[in-house]
Amino acid sequence: MSEKQPEPIILPRGQHSISRQQVDEDTLKVLYRLHRNGQLAYLVGGSVRDLLLGRQPKDFDVGTDATPAQMRRLFRNCFLVGKRFRLAHIRFKDNKVIEVATFRRHPSEEELPDDPDEHFHFVQNVFGTPREDAYRRDFTINALFYNIADFSVIDHVGGLEDLHAKRIRMIGDPLVRFEEDPVRMLRALEFAARLDFSIDPAILDAIQKKKELIATAAPARIREEIMELYRHKVAGPVLKQCRELDMLPHLLAGYPGTDESIELICKIDQRTASGVLIEESFAIAALYLRLFMDSCPPSPQVHITEALHKANEIIIPHCRYFSIAQGIRHQARELLVGCFRLSRGRGMRGERRFLQHPFTPQAMELFRLWAEVRPDLAPQVKEWQRALQSPPAPKQPPRRGPRRRRKRKPTTKIG
């Protein structure tokens, strides 16, 4: 960290909008106990950003100069997690966890592994100061601190200015930071969409140069980040921007991301915004519905077994790469095949059984959203909605004819 970097900006309580009443009470307990025991205790990361923007944070993270061993002594409900860098999880009732991290810094040259290829992914217990910790973070708006000791907001990296300008800006050189962690490219697009912020041109330029690196990120992290896009109702605009930046094929292994697919995902964002929780199987089916319909056009001549085969062919590579459980994969396949059945229209063999299938209502919901993208399917939606709303006719038992009496064999008298 250069000595020429500016002094931090410290806003006293009267110059910012954060109130302790907005902070989770268990988080406050953790902050106060650390402070009473002579430790620095800061609210850190996205929670400070959201509070300054007038948003309610999803969760609250704590930063401190206390080591993991010290935190274990201070909190009886403390459990240490992590292999390379130890984090403290302070557990409260109802499985609630407050995550507390010791301030970190970038390792020095002497502390790095001998193999240069491992430098960017090297993480270990290298404790640092709050200022060093701020410069280690990704974006300026995520590096703000709230100090429980005097209720001030501390800014080491220009995050307050970027919040005011509604701008996403990287801490340090974006080219280097994306090499350290390619997932930051996706996170930059996500934050811009979630907060309605602009993106610093240096970040966009670096994404153009480093977009192929996103394919080297851990699949588990990409899977979680994609689901975060859905949960935050920004999957449509972010995937659209990924396509415009030519990053989408690297993100999802050749995924084409057509206009109709992106439009369908935007419809799902609106559905999530209305309060409907997104399930991963629904998200996967939405991603691949257009591709599935193109490869298996719905018609009476296409047998259902062929549709099942095509659905598996399309989603199995995705599910294997991201280690998605078989149950979720099965649900996604059933949603695709359900949309295939719905697109063919009524009167096909097996309709009664399909109407009673447990996945049919979800398939109908996906098909309804798809029909908003493809208005020519609207008549089928109305027909199927009427069929689902009317109770199925009771199944008639097979008719049997009159019971035949068995003829007795004639008996032969003896004598």
Sheet holding 41-44, edge to edge: 9-11, 152-155, 144-147, 41-44, 61-64, 96-102, 87-92, 78-81
Q: What is the pLDDT of residue 4?
A: 63
227-247 mean pLDDT: 96
Q: Which residues, other chains included, contact 140 with Cβ-Cβ below 8 Å and sequence gap of 6+? A: 157, 158, 159, 161, 162, 169, 170, 171
Q: Which residue has the higher pLDDT, 115 or 331?
A: 331
Q: What is the pLDDT of residue 2?
A: 46
Sign (positive or negative) of CA dihedral 193, 199, 202, 204: positive
Q: What is the pLDDT of residue 394?
A: 59
121-128 mean pLDDT: 66
Pairing status of strand 87-92 against strand 96-102: antiparallel
Q: Which residues, other chains included, contact 28 with Cβ-Cβ below 8 Å and sequence gap of 6+? A: 20, 148
Q: What is the pLDDT of residue 120?
A: 45
Q: Is the pLDDT of residue 79 over 60?
A: yes
Q: Is the pLDDT of residue 414 over 80?
A: no
Q: Which candidate in 59, 205, 246, 294 is catalytic?
A: 59
313-319 mean pLDDT: 94
Q: Is the pLDDT of residue 346 over 70?
A: yes
8 Å CB contact between 211 and 246: yes
Closest CA to 154 of 169, 144, 139: 144
Q: What is the per-residue pLDDT across 265-303, written as a single tens digit (0 to 9) for each? A: 999 999 999 999 999 999 999 999 999 999 988 877 778
Q: Is the pLDDT of residue 390 over 90?
A: no
- Among the ranges 18-22, 348-352, 389-393, which has the highest mean pLDDT value? 18-22
Dist. CA 222–CA 182, nearest whole Å: 10
Burial environment of residue 372 by CB neighbours within 10 A (0 to 12, 13 to 18, 19 or more): middle
64-84 mean pLDDT: 91
Q: What is the pLDDT of residue 357?
A: 87
DSSP β-bridge partners for residue 89? 79, 99
Average pLDDT over the chain, rounded to whole?
Answer: 89
Q: Which candidate in 50, 61, 200, 269 is catalytic?
A: 61
For residue 192, give both structure tokens.
Answer: 């811009």
User: Is 59 among the residues known to form the active site?
Assistant: yes
Q: What is the pLDDT of residue 119?
A: 45
**Confidence label for 121 from pLDDT (cuts 50, 70 and 90):** very low
Closest CA to 236 of 188, 184, 271, 274: 271
Q: Which residue has the higher pLDDT, 152 or 401?
A: 152
Q: Which residue has the higher pLDDT, 23 or 349?
A: 23
Q: Which candidate in 50, 65, 138, 200 is catalytic?
A: 138
Q: What is the pLDDT of residue 413?
A: 54
What is the amino acid identity at position 378?
A
Q: What is the per-residue pLDDT across 157-212, written as a single tens digit (0 to 9) for each? A: 999 999 999 999 999 999 999 999 999 999 999 999 999 999 999 999 999 999 99
Q: What is the pLDDT of residue 405?
A: 66
Pairing status of strand 167-168 against strand 198-199: parallel
User: Is 246 among the residues known to form the active site?
Assistant: no
Dist. CA 262–CA 133, nearest whole Å: 38
Alpha helices, H only, 151-300 = 159-165, 174-180, 183-195, 201-210, 219-231, 235-244, 248-251, 259-273, 280-295
Q: Is the pLDDT of residue 408 over 50?
A: yes
What is the amino acid identity at position 259?
D
- Which residue segments constitute the domains of the chain, with CATH numbers given? 1-165 (3.30.460.10), 280-389 (1.10.3090.10)
Burial environment of residue 100 by CB neighbours within 10 A (0 to 12, 13 to 18, 19 or more): buried
Q: Is the pLDDT of residue 324 over 80?
A: yes
8 Å CB contact between 136 and 97: no
